[in-house]
Each structure stands twice: as C-alpha cells, then as structure tokens.
Amino acid sequence: MVLFRRSLGDILRSRRTELGLTLREVSGAARVSLGYISEIERGQKEASSELLSSLCDALEMPLSDVLREVADAVALEEAALVGATPITPRRTGEVVPSAA
C-alpha cells in the first residue's frame, strides 16, 4: 500500500508542478486543507475517492489517467523487485484496442 500511496503522490505532485500551481492554489480549488494535500503528495496519507476526484478536477487531469499512471508505476516497481520483464506503460490518453 505504501508503494501505491507514494506513486500516487509523485504523480499528483508532478502534475501540479507541470501546471505551475502551488499547494495553496490546489488546496483552494479542491477545497482540501493544504497540509492534507502535502501529506498525500508525500505518500503519508491515503486519499478517499472523493478527495482524489477533487484533486484531479483541480489539476485538470482525468481520474482514469491518474490511476493508469499509478498502475504503470506500481507494475514497474513490482517488476524491478522480482526481476520480471515490466509491462510497457501506456501514454496518457492512449487507447487500448479491444480484442474483438
């Protein structure tokens, strides 16, 4: 679970810095305390689905993209731990064709 929280925090922080937003700006837009967002970004606190949705809205990023990036980061970390070949992470917005 720590790996998931850390990856989630890294991705949210990365997006926030890409947008040039401060914690205070995201806090105001998401209506979440600045300290709590800081703890989420450091992987120390878990975000509820409602809170994560508010953060994604404030960061103008679909929740599905955040979860996809977290899943890819976790898969790469798992693969490194067991020495397996990791999956190839999808790019944000990439559509996976269905097997029809």
The domain spans of the chain are 4-84
Reported residue count of the chain is 100
pLDDT of residue 6: 93
pLDDT of residue 1: 63
Does CATH number 1.10.260.40 belong to domain 4-84? yes
53: left (phi over 0), alpha (psi -120 to 50) or beta: alpha
| Contacts of 78 by beta carbon, 8 Å cutoff, 6+ apart | 84, 86
What number is the average pLDDT over the span 50-66?
94
Q: What percentage of the chain reaches a pLDDT higher than 70?
A: 81
What is the residue-wise DSSP string for 43-97? TSSPPPHHHHHHHHHHTT--HHHHHHHHHHHHHHHHHHHHTPPPPPPPPTTPPPP
Residue 62 or residue 2, greater confidence: 62
Structure confidence by residue, pLDDT tens digits, 66-99: 999 999 998 888 887 776 555 666 676 666 665 5
